[in-house]
Structure formats: structure tokens, C-alpha cells
Structure 1
């Protein structure tokens, strides 16, 4: 016998409160497990493809782990040290960049700097970046954790990701066996929609970030820009937020190019052309190919979710913001669809259905079909 709607709402409300409380109270504790689960979810399609090629789940997971270890070693030995060095150099160069900007404005727009507020702001900006930049960089790199926590995080996340990837299909089957039988088909349908949204956005957007970040970094370094790796990494990482990565990365790259190559307009044009080409490829080929049109997450809803969960629950909140936003969006669309086909919306006039609308009636959760009210009465009679 199906549970009354009020009891179901009570149970789901309790589950939501437990989830929020766990994020608030155990945020730092569950962070490695959230990260490991996210990595396993991201890599599960690759493991499935390797299985289709004839490998076992264990062998597929081992191959992925080996590739990940090689990538981690390369990043640790080559990319990360260079990135940290460029970040330090950029912070130290900030006063010179501001002075160069001030000199340019003095030469081109002398009346502008007559305003003492603008002048004082420019004078203090570079020194403030230099004074606070080192502290900020240290905070970002340490993530406000002790050395022991960092080591534990680095060790635990790969282990969690490995075992979750190895047992992913079994865990999904186990959870499916716990679903309430009366509502299992509906929950599975909602879960498939959520997976479709997450697959389209998370996996697609992370891949877009990696592709664009690598392209910008390599191209800018090949063009001779001093901080090409840093600018490319920033632009690639911020591509996760629509338009922000291109705007901030383009401003940084062109600004540094003007400082480094002033007078060499061909070189400056090459740097600007790199970002123009990157945006052209992203909008016309990379994003449509990797993400398609079935993402289902509006940029404003995404930005709000990241801001809200990041403020409430810190870094772990930002990690779960996108999945939670996807769940809320899919469930909201499902409830709206149920409302539009229900008696509350249609009322007495629902007996004559507008063209294109599904007839009112009951949803068969096994087949997904809609049984009209007349057919239901005939069957019951």
C-alpha cells in the first residue's frame, strides 16, 4: 500500500535536513569522500567503455588508476612548480604593472589623473597586491589546512576514488534495491534525468575547462608571454562559470602583453588572436560537441547555487552545489509536469483537453504511460 503524500513529504524532509546537517557539521571530514565520489562518477563512463572492450571492471579501474598516477607525477614535477613560480613572479611584478598603467594614463589621459582619488588608488593598488598577494597565494595553496590534513587529503581521495570506481555499478544496484517498490520506476526516471544533466554539464564542462586551459597555456607560452601558464590555467579554470573565464583570461593576457610587448603590435595581436580563436572553437565546436543541448542548468541558477552553498558550507559546499542544483532542477520540472497534468491545475475544464496536452488520468509508473480517467473507470467497473 502506497504511503500517504504527507508521510512521504515528512520522510524526504527529514532526509534533506540530515544532508544539510552533515554538510555543516562534517564538512571537512567528508570532503575527501565527496572529492573521491566526484572523481569516480566522472571516470565511470571511461571504465564502462573499457569493459565493453573486453577488460574486467578490476582491470579497467587499474588502467585508469595507472594513467592517473602518471598524470599526477607529470603535473607534480613539471606543471605545478612552474605555476607556483609564475604566481610568485606575478605578485612581485604587480607594482611595476600598476606603475606602467599609471604612466600610460598620464601620457594619454593627463586630465584623468588630476583626480586624486584615482591617483591614490593606482599608487596603493600595486603595493597592496604585493603585500597581500603572498598571503593570499599561501592561503589558496594550503586551503587553510594543516600539513597533516593536506597529506591525508592527498592520500585518501585517490583511495576513495579507486574503490568507488571499482564498486560503482554494485553500489548503484544496491541503492536501486532500497527504493520503495511503489515509486521505484518514477525515482529511476528522475535519477536518469539527473544523471543526464550532470553528465552533460559536469563531465562536459570539466572537459571543456581542461581542453581550453591546456590550449591557452600552451599557445600563450609558445607566443612568448611570460605568465602564459598562469593566465591559461586561470582562464581554463574559470571557464566553468560562463563568460567569466574568457573575460578575465583575455584581460589578463592582453594586459600583460601590452606591458611586455609594448610597441610590438604583431605580438600583441597574436595574444589577442589566441583568445579570439579559443572562444570561436569553444562556441562552435568544443562545447556543442562535449555538452550538447541537454544540459538543463541555467548559468544564473548555477552561479546562485555555487555562491549559496559556498557561503554556507565552504569548499565542500561548492563541490556539491552543482549536483544539488541539478537534483533541484530535475525534481522541480517533474513536479511542475505533474501539476500541469493534475486536477489542481485542470479543474473541471480539464475534461476537454487543449490540443497537444496529455489527457488527465493516472501515470502508470511501470510503463510510463498515462491512463485516461474514462479508461480507469471502465477498468474499475
Structure 2
């Protein structure tokens, strides 16, 4: 609940001022959108590393030393992940392209006849895997042609190359300064706030940080852990596309059970096409069963907790809406904006339930003598007890 001493920053005389300020900030962000991406990426990276910096500081290290250690660790981790993942993903995509004809043969030679015999259906005339494979290859070639065209156009523009290189070079530099000077920047921003609104903004900012931190840091750890479990497990049981399926399942596991459903469906099809026996199918089911047990009873309770405040549907909508409205920058800002919206929504709900519009201060109207009401019926005039 809001303390009684907190002044109302949204009184009638200030309401239009806040609306004008919010509109001005929105227009400014929209105009500066093309150059904000490296700064947003740097801010998110600095924010992700802030808890570790504070832990190192708590052990007696200076802020600069702690930032240098965390920054070096994050840089090495990112470089190592890129060096390991790019060859693996490239190899898996090549295997997937080579696997498509085998999938077509399995679909027409095994799956469709089994379904027709089992369910007494006629499916052969409606399923033509050759057209599906040709369509996929056509889109792949078109995507490659578009990429080649874009690269060719970019290569003709030295300014575009310089712009991309400058953005990439800015990210580590700005990340380091955000990690080192972020606390002082926030302190100066807090000093600029109007005094009546400063306590409320500080409280909402702290709540937003807790909600966003609980979701992004925890869920990102769960996604990495599940992707690793699925990829290693599927590869160990002999699925050629195990790494690709595990990575995809891990990426979409920010929605509960979606990663398991997508990954299990793809792994079952890949196993039936490659092996076609019950033993490998049981091993695949065991891998995903183990992954779900670890997620439900250990990973999610330990890394995420139960006080996130962001519903999976809200996360999906926020990411899609951000990408539609502002492109890649909108995707980056989707979850922070969603977290702030959740906290502001809670505050608005508190204000609404205490307002005259909600009627919290008004006693309910009880019709005397109506059915279902407690208490004695009204006395007739003149009657005395």
C-alpha cells in the first residue's frame, strides 16, 4: 500500500503537464530510434552484470575493479559462445537441409499409410512432400538472394559499413561506462525529478527492477540450461539434429511448456525418420521428461521464483508489439516496458480501488426487508418494543 505521507503527484493541476511530458519523451524516442540501439544493448548488458558487480564490491573490491572483472568475464563468455555456436548451428542447418528428402520419404512411405490404415482416411492425395521440400528450398534460395542483395548494397555504401562498425564498437565501450557510472547516473536523474513525485518514481523503479530482474535473469538462465540439457541429451541418444532441436526448444521455453512441446514434437519426428524404433523413441521421451522434471522442481523455483509478475501471454504480446512498432529496438525494449507497465498497472489498481469512482468509501445500499438480508425487519410507525 502507498504510505499516507506520499503526496499525490497526479493532481488535476499536474495531470496535463505529465501527459505533455510523456508525449514529448515518446516523440523524442521515436525520432532518435535509429541511433538508440547500441545504447539500449549496452544498458541491458550492464544491467545484467550489475548483481555480480555488487557482490564483488561487497567483498572489498573497488567499483572499477569489480566492473573490469565482470566486463572481462562477460566478454570472454560472449566470444566463447559465438565461436562454439556458429560452427554447430551451421553444421546442424546443413544436416537439416540434407534431412528433408528423408523426411519426405518417411512421410509418404510410413506416416501417411499408417494414418490411413489406423483412422480409415485418404490422405495420400492431399500430401505431397516434394512440393513442401521444393517450397522450403525456394524460400531458402530467396532468403539467400535477398541476403546477397542486401550485402551487395551495403558493400557499395561505405557509410553503412562504417555505421555498423561504429555501433558494434560502441557497445563494449558504452557497456563499460554504464556498468561503472550507472549508479551515479541514476542518482543524478533522481535529483532532477520533482520532489513531490520522487518517492513514488523511486518506489516504482525499484519494483520494476525486481520484476524485470526476476524474469530476464532467471528465465534466461532457465532457457540456457534447458537448451543445453535437450541438446546434449538428444545428441547422446543418437539424434542427428539434437543440437538444433535443443537450441530451438531452449529459445522458446520462456513460455511454460512451449519449449517442451515444440522440442518433443520435432525430436519425435526426427527420431522416427532417422531410427524408426521404439527404443530411441523412449530415450527421446526420457530426455524431455528429465528436462521437465528439472525445470519444474529445481530450475524454475531456484532461478526464477514465483514472484515474476509477467504472464507468458503478456511477454509474447510485448515482444511482437515492440518488433512491429519499433523493429529490433522495440524487441530489446519490449520486456523492460512490459515490466514497468505491470508495476504501473498495480499502482493504478491501488489508486482505483481507493477512489470515489470505485466506491470504496461508500457503504453498500441495503434494502430493508429484502430477501436474504440479515437483521430485524423495520418497525411499524408508532409501535414500541
Please give the range of the TM-score, normalised by the shorter of the 2 chains: 0.7 to 0.9
Partner Cα separation in structure 2 for residue 24 and residue 131 of structure 1:
36
1:16 aligns with 2:11: no
* Equivalence for 2:356: 343
Contact 1:92–1:130 (CA under 8 A) maintained in structure 2: no
1-structure distance, mates of 2:280, 2:347: 53
The structure 2 residue matched to 1:172, chosen from 182, 186, 199, is 186
Q: 1:119 aligns with which of 123, 127, 131?
A: 127
Contact 1:215 1:232 in 2 (8 A): yes
Deviation at 1:146, TM superposition (A): 4.5
- C-alpha spacing 1:348/1:316, structure 2 compared with 1 (3 Å): closer
What pairs with 1:192-207 in structure 2 (closer than 5 Å)? 192-207=206-221
Where does residue 51 of structure 2 map in the other structure? 45
What is the TM-score when the length of structure 2 is the normalising length?
A: 0.81
Mapped contact 2:319–2:335 kept (Cα < 8 A):
yes
TM-score (norm 1): 0.82
1:283 to partner: Cα distance: 1.5
Match of residue 230, structure 1, among 232, 239, 244 = 244
Question: Would the alpha carbon gap of residues 12 and 113 (structure 1) be closer, same or farther in structure 2, given more than 3 Å must change?
Answer: farther
Q: Distance in 2 between matches of 1:152 and 1:291?
A: 36
Aligned residue in 2 for 1:163: 177
Give the drift of 1:143: 10
- What 5-or-longer segments of structure 2 have no aligned partner? 1-6, 156-160, 365-385
Cα–Cα, structure 1 residues 238 and 63, in superposed 2: closer, same or farther, change >3 Å?
same
- Determine which of 295, 299, 303 is the counterpart of 2:308: 295
**Alpha-carbon distance in structure 2 between the residues aligned to 1:140 and 1:51:** 46
- Distance across 2 between alignment mates of 1:130 and 1:58: 52
Is residue 209–residue 236 contact of structure 1 (8 Å, CA) maintained in 2?
Answer: yes
Q: What is the total number of aligned residue pairs between the two structures?
A: 349
Residues 4 and 226 of structure 1: CA distance in aligned 2, closer, same or farther (over 3 Å): closer
Equivalence for 1:361: none
CA spacing shift, 1:266–1:2, aligned 2, 3 Å: closer
Matches for 1:1-381 after TM superposition, within 5 Å? 5-110=11-116, 112-114=121-123, 116=125, 118-120=126-128, 122-133=129-140, 135-136=142-143, 146=154, 148=161, 150-263=164-277, 265-346=278-359, 349=362
Deviation (angstroms), 1:69: 2.6
> Following the alignment from structure 2 to structure 1, what is the Cα–Cα distance between the partners of residues 288 and 147?
26
Quote how far apart the aligned CAs of 1:313 are: 1.3
What residue ranges of structure 1 are gaps of 5+ in the alignment? 352-381
Which one has a bigger Cα radius of gyration?
2
Q: Quote the Cα distance in structure 2 between the aligned partners of 1:56 and 1:104.
A: 66
How far has the Cα of 1:66 moved from its partner? 1.6
Structure 1 residues 183-230: Cα deviation after superposition (integer angstroms, max 9, x where no partner): 211221111111111111111111111111122222222223212221
SS in 2 for 1:167: helix
The 3-state SS of whatever aligns with 1:180 is: coil
Contact 2:9–2:197 at 8 Å: present in 1 too? no
- The CA distance in 1 between the partners of 2:193 and 2:219, in whole Å, is 31
Aligned-residue RMSD, C-alpha: 2.9
- 1:112, 1:308 → 2: CA distance? 41
